[in-house]
């Protein structure tokens, strides 16, 4: 491959070539577009992320609940890795310039196509020019929206995901954006209904000790497994910050930066654990006391949700 | 999970392993060895991420079996140095913290610039931002502290020092590293392959530009 490099220093790759038309509206070659009438509080384009670049400092990113995005994609006939929208606290109003099939998965939320009510977890037919409205979830936080053909913004390093940490991928969706859609991909999955996962009042997470569990006191390791934590309001796509018993260190001093994984429970100087989510940095300078098996439940954990950890043997 | 020739393997959840090395030289040897083994189809890992004292393997199908196999490998120090590419970074040495660095190093500003120009750096690892390489090669006594208060905006292309490392900001960002110069070279470009110039293992010279 030819390595094209700009001669001039740029302000960064963030806003380059993302394909999101703000100044000049664009659409896919045959696919029409989504006109964003109301973006909602925090809506981003997400697919399954850009793994394989962590050694260059590029986070994985991608949907916080990949299975929920993949389900939405299957319901509209897309491959599982097509790009859709990830909504935090809903609040979206979208107009399709062409007829299409859409599906919303994730939290329990009101969905309307013009004035016609729709359901979460079902394919919905949207006529050309109709307006799709997604309300505010009754429980939980997030929804994933797939449209047949997928959102066709230009991929960056193989992914259309917005990485809120590094700024790679399209910028977060804003009012007035026009998101190009791809052409039809395949027939929608022959399902009428899927069963959503209820959002539990209390989230139990399986935690495996390591890689730096030995940097903490035995008391800290017991506190982590034996006491309740709550999700802090400053949680985001980078990490779920928890509030609870402070975890004290057995080893003082600074940990040289080391690679971290999705679900790593990092403990900064204040002793309050932080669980890394999709947009986590590739390396971190605080010790990781353990790693959570499955972080997807945290995608729906509102601030104040109780989180408890238990070992894998339970 | 075990100790092998000064390197310990630590568990990291269901799909990852951390190779905890004795020193940065061992990190580089293992990084090169694991990349080579993966390219040869002897190792399955989605990510191999070197850092200051460790190498992370993520996206590993069977961490326990992989750890057992790695325990039987010995990194080859010769291939590491022989295969490394060299990148020359044209640098204008006009950073506003040069006098501060000169004071820490007990040298004059021209002597600091000369040392930086003569040093053969190597990208030890990337982090902080896409394409940001941590460059080693300065002697340990030249380690410098960060600014007590980070600057709100360090321009893209700034060449800077912190701790034992040199680094170049690929994009504008807040930063507390000591600024010694700047380059117009684009360090990270998503349309290039690879997108970063300063990949782990690459040798780097900060030549006068």
Q: Could you write out the three-class secondary structure of A92-121?
A: EEEEECCCEEEEEEECCCCEEECCEEECCC
Chain A: closest CA distance from residue B49 (Å): 5
Cα A247–chain centre separation? 28
Q: Are residues B122 and B193 in the same domain?
A: yes
Give the mean pLDDT of A258-279: 97
Q: pTM value?
A: 0.90
Do A263 and B13 make contact, defined as CB atoms within 8 angstroms? yes
Answer yes or no: is pLDDT of A130 > 80: yes
Q: Are residues B66 and B23 in the same domain?
A: yes
CA separation for the pair B184, B113 (Å, rounded): 18
What is the per-residue pLDDT for A132?
98
Query: End of a domain among B82, B115, B144?
Result: B82
| Whole-number percent of chain A with pLDDT over 90 | 82
CA separation for the pair A79, B12 (Å, rounded): 31
Q: Does B91 touch chain A (CB under 8 A)?
A: no
Whole-number average pLDDT of chain B: 94
Q: Are residues B196 and B118 in the same domain?
A: yes
Whole-number average pLDDT of chain A: 89
The range of the structural domain enclosing residue B155 comes to: 86-205
Q: Does B25 touch chain A (CB under 8 A)?
A: no
In three-state secondary structure terms, A299 is helix
Answer yes or no: is pLDDT of A54 > 70: yes
Residue B199 · residue B175 · CB < 8 Å: no
The tens digit of pLDDT for each residue in B4-20 reads 777 999 999 999 999 99
Q: Are residues B49 and B115 in the same domain?
A: no
Binned at pLDDT 50, 70 and 90, residue B82 comes out as low
Q: The CATH number of the domain where B15 resides is what? A: 3.30.1360.40
Answer yes or no: is pLDDT of B118 > 50: yes
Residue A248 · residue A274 · CB < 8 Å: no
The tens digit of pLDDT for each residue in B11-57 reads 999 999 999 999 999 999 999 999 999 999 999 999 999 999 999 99
Residue A149 · residue A31 · CB < 8 Å: yes
Q: Are residues B105 and B193 in the same domain?
A: yes
What is the per-residue pLDDT for A37?
98
CA separation for the pair A306, A134 (Å, rounded): 27
Partner residue opposite A291 with nearest CB, options B12, B54, B192: B12
Least confident residue range of A185-189, A281-285, B43-47, B169-173: A185-189
The tens digit of pLDDT for each residue in A56-101 reads 999 999 999 999 999 999 999 999 999 999 999 999 999 999 999 9
Q: The CATH number of the domain where B193 resides is what? A: 2.40.100.10
Domains contained in chain A, CATH given: 33-180 (no CATH), 202-310 (2.40.100.10)
Chain B: closest CA distance from residue A51 (Å): 7
Cα A25–chain centre separation? 26
- Give chain A's count of helices (H) and strands (E): 2, 20
Chain A: closest CA distance from residue B8 (Å): 11
Determine how many CB atoms are found less than 10 A away from the CB of residue A8.
7
Q: Are residues B104 and B51 in the same domain?
A: no
Instruction: Calculate the CA dihedral of residues B19, B24, B27, B33 and round it to 10 degrees.
Output: -160
Q: Are residues B197 and B184 in the same domain?
A: yes
Q: Are residues B101 and B188 in the same domain?
A: yes
Query: End of a domain among B16, B49, B82?
Result: B82
Q: Are residues B27 and B61 in the same domain?
A: yes
CA separation for the pair A35, A180 (Å, rounded): 9
Binned at pLDDT 50, 70 and 90, residue B209 comes out as confident
Domains held by chain B: number: 2
Q: Are residues B160 and B103 in the same domain?
A: yes
Partner residue opposite A56 with nearest CB, options B12, B20, B194: B194
Q: Are residues B64 and B112 in the same domain?
A: no
What is the per-residue pLDDT for A154?
96
Q: Are residues B122 and B196 in the same domain?
A: yes
Q: How far apart are the first and last CA of chain B?
A: 48
Do A168 and B200 make contact, defined as CB atoms within 8 angstroms? no
Residue with tokens 């190498």, as numbered in its chain: B55
Instruction: Calculate the CA dihedral of residues A239, B14, B51, B72 and round it to 10 degrees.
Output: 180
Give the mean pLDDT of A240-262: 96
Query: End of a domain among B42, B57, B82?
Result: B82
Beta partners for residue B57, in sequence order: B17, B48
Answer yes or no: is pLDDT of A122 > 50: yes
Give the mean pLDDT of B127-141: 96
Beta partners for residue B4, in sequence order: B7
């Amino acid at each position: 491959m030819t390595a094209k490099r700009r001669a001039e220093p740029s302000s960064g790759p963030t806003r380059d070539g993302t394909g999101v038309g703000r100044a000049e509206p664009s659409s896919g070659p045959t696919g029409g577009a989504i006109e964003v009438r109301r973006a909602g509080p925090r809506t981003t384009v997400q697919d399954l992320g850009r793994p394989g670049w962590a050694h260059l400092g590029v986070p994985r990113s991608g949907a916080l609940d990949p299975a929920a995005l993949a389900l939405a994609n299957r319901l509209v006939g897309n491959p599982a890795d097509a790009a859709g929208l990830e909504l935090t606290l809903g609040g979206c109003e979208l107009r399709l310039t062409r007829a299409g099939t859409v599906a919303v998965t994730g939290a329990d939320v009101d969905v309307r196509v013009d004035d016609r009510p729709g359901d979460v977890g079902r394919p919905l037919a949207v006529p050309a020019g109709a307006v799709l409205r997604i309300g505010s979830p009754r429980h939980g936080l997030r929804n994933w929206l797939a449209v047949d053909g997928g959102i066709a913004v230009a991929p960056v390093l193989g992914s259309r995901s917005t990485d809120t940490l590094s700024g790679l991928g399209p910028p977060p969706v804003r009012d007035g954006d026009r998101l190009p859609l791809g052409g039809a991909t395949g027939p929608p999955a022959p399902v009428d209904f899927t069963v959503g996962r209820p959002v539990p009042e209390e989230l139990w997470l399986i935690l495996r000790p390591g890689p730096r569990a030995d940097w903490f006191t035995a008391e800290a390791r017991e506190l982590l497994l034996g006491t309740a934590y709550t999700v802090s309001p400053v949680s985001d796509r980078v990490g779920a910050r928890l509030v609870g018993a402070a975890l004290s260190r057995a080893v003082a001093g600074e940990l040289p930066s080391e690679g971290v994984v999705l679900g790593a429970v990092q403990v900064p100087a204040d002793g309050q654990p932080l669980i890394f989510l999709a947009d986590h940095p590739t390396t971190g300078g605080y010790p990781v006391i353990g790693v959570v098996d499955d972080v997807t439940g945290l995608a729906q954990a509102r601030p104040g949700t109780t989180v408890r950890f238990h070992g894998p043997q339970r | 999970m075990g100790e092998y020739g000064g390197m310990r393997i630590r568990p990291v959840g269901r799909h990852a392993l951390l190779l905890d090395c004795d020193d940065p030289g061992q990190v580089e040897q293992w990084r090169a060895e694991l990349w080579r083994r993966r390219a040869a189809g002897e190792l399955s890992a989605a990510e191999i991420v070197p850092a200051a004292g460790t190498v992370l393997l993520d996206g590993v199908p069977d961490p326990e079996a992989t750890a057992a196999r790695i325990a039987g490998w010995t990194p080859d120090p010769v291939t590491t140095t022989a295969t490394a590419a060299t990148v020359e970074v044209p640098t204008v040495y006009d950073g506003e913290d040069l006098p501060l660095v000169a004071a820490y190093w007990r040298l004059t500003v021209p002597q600091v610039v000369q040392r930086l120009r003569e040093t053969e750096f190597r990208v030890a690892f990337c982090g902080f931002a896409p394409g940001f390489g941590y460059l080693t090669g300065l002697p340990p006594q030249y380690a410098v502290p960060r600014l007590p208060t980070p600057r709100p905006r360090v321009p893209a292309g700034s060449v800077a020092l912190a701790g034992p490392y040199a680094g170049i900001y690929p994009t504008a960002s807040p930063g507390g590293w000591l600024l010694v110069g700047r380059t117009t070279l684009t360090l990270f470009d998503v349309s290039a392959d690879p997108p970063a110039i300063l990949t782990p293992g690459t040798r780097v010279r900060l030549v006068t530009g």
